[in-house]
Structure 1
Amino acid sequence: MTKQDFQPAPITVQQQPGARRSFHVAAFVLKRRAMPLPQTPALTADCVVVDPDRGVLMVRRKNPPYKGSLALPGGFVEIGETVEDAARRELKEETGLDAINLALIGVYSRPDRDPRGHTCSVAFLTRDAQGTANAGDDAEAVIWIKDIDGIEIAFDHREIITDALNLIR
C-alpha cells in the first residue's frame, strides 16, 4: 500500500464525566476501492451415495472428459448456490435421487484433478438417499459398485470414495 491509499480522517474523543481532559486524535482510514475478483479454480461438488446392500452409486459419464468412465454424481456450483445445494441438485439431475443428510468428506483441490482446468471439489457423503436411481442429465447410466478395486474411475473419485468409506468404517 502507498500513502495515496490512505486519507486523513480526524476523530474526536469526547470528554467523559470525571475525566481530566479531552483530546483530538488524527487517524487515517483506508480508502475504499473496488478490488477485482481474482482468477480462482472452478468450484464443484461431488456426492458419494452409499447403500449397505448395493455399495456406492456411480454414473457412467455421457460427455467428455472421461466419456464412458465411471464417476461420482457431481458438477459445477452455480452462482448463488451453496455447495450442499449443488451436491443435492447434481445428484438429483444425474440419478433422480434425493440426498436427505449430507456429511462433508473433504475438499479436493489438486490442480491436475480435472483435465479441463483447475477445479476444487467439495465432496459429501449421503447414506439416506431416497428415490429410484435412474440415469439423467449427463449420466449415461447409474451403477451400484460393491468393490472399486480394478475399476477405472474418472478424476480423483477413487480417492474421494476411499475417504468416504473410511469415514463410515
Structure 2
Amino acid sequence: MSFDTLACPSCGAAVIRYRNPFPTVDIIIERAGRIVLIKRKNPPHGWALPGGFVDYGESLEQAAIREAREETSLEIRNLRLLGCYSDPARDSRFHTISTVFIAEASGIPQAADDAAELALFSPANLPAPLCFDHARILDDYVHSLRRPQPDSSRE
C-alpha cells in the first residue's frame, strides 16, 4: 500500500498526509415566511444558502453565526439543527461535510464577502440553479416544517 507523505517541518521525517473531509456549515435564515439565499461570487456560481468553512478552534454554532454575518450582514439567533450532509459528491471541488442550521435573524440583509447578491425567497418558489446539494437540503427543510411538533404542554 502506498501513502502520500510530507516532510515534518521540525525534523524532516516523512509523515503520512491524511485526506479528510472539510467541515462546513450552512444556514437557513428565516425571515417572515421566506428564506435568505445568496448568489455566489466564486465558482461554483449560482444561488446558495449562506455558509462556509469552520475555522480551527471554532464551534459549528460560532461558524454559523460568523458566516451568516459575513455573507448577509445579519445577526442570527435561535439556532436549530436541521441535519448533516456528507455525500462526497455534494461539492465538486472537494469532500465536505455540512452541518445545516435553521435560524432567525435581525438586521438589514445585505450581500457581503463571498455573496454577489442576496434575496429572500419563498421555499415554494426557489431560484435556479441552486449550488451544491442545497436543493436537497431545502427540500428536507420544507418537509421538516410539515412534521407535527411535539406538544410541550404535556408533562
TM-score by shorter chain over 0.5: yes
Alpha-carbon distance, 1:148 to partner: 3.8
How many pairs are equivalent? 131
Name structure 1 gaps, 5 residues minimum: 1-35
TM-score by length of 2: 0.78
TM-superposition CA deviations, 1:49-71 (whole Å, max 9, x none): 12234x1110000011x22x100
Question: Hey, which bits of structure 1, 4+ residues long, moved more than 6 A?
Answer: none
Which residue identity does 2:79 align to in structure 1?
L
Residue 98 of structure 2 aligns with which residue?
Answer: 121
Structure 1: how far apart are the matches of 2:127 and 2:48?
Answer: 14
Alpha-carbon distance, 1:166 to partner: 2.1
Residue 63 of structure 1 aligns with which residue?
Answer: 42
**Structure 2 residue 27 is matched with structure 1 residue 83:** no
What is the correspondence of 1:1-169 to structure 2 with a 5 Å cutoff? Answer: 38-53=18-33, 55-64=34-43, 66-67=44-45, 69-126=46-103, 128-146=104-122, 147-148=124-125, 151-169=128-146
Mean alpha-carbon deviation: is it higher for 158-167 or for 42-51? 158-167
TM-superposition CA deviations, 1:3-44 (whole Å, max 9, x none): xxxxxxxxxxxxxxxxxxxxxxxxxxxxxxxxx784310000
Structure 1: how far apart are the matches of 2:114 and 2:20?
Answer: 25
Q: Is the 8 A contact 2:47 2:127 kept in 1?
A: no
Structure 2: how far apart are the matches of 1:95 and 1:150?
Answer: 17
Identity, in percent, stands at 39
Structure 2: how far apart are the matches of 1:99 and 1:150?
Answer: 23
Give the SS at the match of 1:121.
strand
TM-superposition CA deviations, 1:107-140 (whole Å, max 9, x none): 00000100111100000001x2111100000100
Larger radius of gyration: 1
Q: Is the 8 A contact 2:109 2:118 kept in 1?
A: yes
